[in-house]
Amino acid sequence: MAQPNPVKVLDVCRVAPPPLSLDSTTPKSLPLTFFDMVLLKFPPTQRLYFYETSHPTTTFLEVVVPKLKHSLSLTLQHYVPLAGNVTWTPDYSKLIIKYVEGDAVSLTVAESAVDFYSLSGDNFREAQNFNPFLPCLVGSETRVPALALQVTLFPNVGFSIGYAVHHGVLDGKATTMFMHSWAFICTRGEDSTLMPELTPLYDRTMIVDPSDLETTYSNLWLGKDGPGNKNLALLDMKAPPDAMLGTFLLTQGNIENLKMWVQFQWEQKQLEKPSFYLSSFAITTAYTCVIVDADSDELIGEDGVATAAKAIGEAIERLKDGVLEGKRDLIAKYKAIPLGRLFSIAGSPHFDLYKTDFGWGRPRKVETTSIAKTEAFSLSDSRDGNSWVEIGIILSKHESEAFASVFASGLHKTSTHA
């Protein structure tokens, strides 16, 4: 039996940048680069920011929403392509992000009686419960929007801001930069001058493509469903029906203990001291991967984290040979990996998601909800500012019941050793 929608839509509007002056330096059209091509048809990145406030519905609609709309419009004058669409050039030879007069960002305003604190907690929650609070990118086969937004009020408790962004237009850094810019302008009213670190750079000539990877990637996508396919529709990936989303923290102390534990395991196996730097990223990724999927012989046992950390560290070290090395076959390599064996990471602790303050304080919680579809895990800074990293994990219901215990026991073991 279908469940009633827990969200009541109050308004669906379109927010455009202010009329552009003739001497505007913000481009209306941008070519997609080979970096963008890799993610051309990937599902949109979706994230939810939860803010704890005490606004009743009337105040929210008369004060908060107009302020968010106005500041969004002012922000879009710096990010004009985000009000546009991914499409083809007229001769269908190139993919571009194009803004034309009349284009705008879809903004849904809604209200919900769902338990705000349960939804924005750390415990495992059903991933599908987040869907009503997230916007969709509604496009066609030849035009797909770059961005859509939804603001949802939980009366007298808080509100959320959710976004869906085209991954071929924005990576994680650019998306969080846009959100910080929007928050910055929202807190300053009519002063829409951005700081240099929030001002986007549109110079595509800085990206050198000596091997013409753009054409290689474009042809790979075009051949996906047969020759001459120009369909730009995003892949329709679904989260498993029993997918659960949970959040776990690693403190700097946890990280240091894990590093010492890994180095101890390397010494026990009499391995040659690695030439690479054992970074916090390598340790975090290794520890998360082994707890999530320890069904490989090499990852089972006490030295599983050490084995994973070595492999990840060596892979990062190889980037010194050039980040484009081997990238011609990147998409083909992705396709060759069996389902359930590809681990990807969304976000970074350096994005400062919890510093996105629109004037009502720091977020209570930030969730990268799109990992439910891609089965990635997410990394971000922490809400309290003290922990080194906040990790978002997607597991099935039966796996989630055991995960918290395994995660904690592993940290206890390494701290005892340290």
| DSSP string over 352-385 | -GGG--SSS-S-SEEE-TTHHHH--EEEE--SSS
Strands 377-380 and 345-347: parallel
The Cα 144–Cα 225 span in angstroms is: 18
Q: Which among 43, 1, 45, 31 is positioned nearest to 173, based on CA atoms?
A: 45
H/E stretch holding 107 reads strand 105-112
Catalytic residue among 167, 180, 303, 381: 167
Three-state DSSP class for residue 21: coil
What single letter denotes the amino acid at residue 398? H
User: What are the residues whose beta carbons fall under 8 Å from the beta carbon of 32, sequence distance 6 or more?
Assistant: 40, 86, 94, 95, 96, 97, 168, 214
Give the separation between CA 407 and CA 401, rounded to whole angstroms. 11
Q: Would residue 357 show up in a list of annotated catalytic residues for this protein?
A: yes
Angstrom CA distances, 315 to 35, 278, 320, 321, stand at 19, 12, 10, 11
Structure tokens at 112: 């919900």
- How many angstroms separate the CA atoms of 134 and 163, rounded? 6
Could you write out the DSSP letters of every residue in 36-48? HHHTTTSPPEEEE
Q: Phi/psi at 347 (nearest 5 deg)?
A: 85, -175
Query: What single-letter DSSP state applies at residue 196?
Result: G
Q: What totals of helices (H) and strands (E) does the chain contain, helices first?
A: 12, 15
Catalytic residue ranges: 167, 357
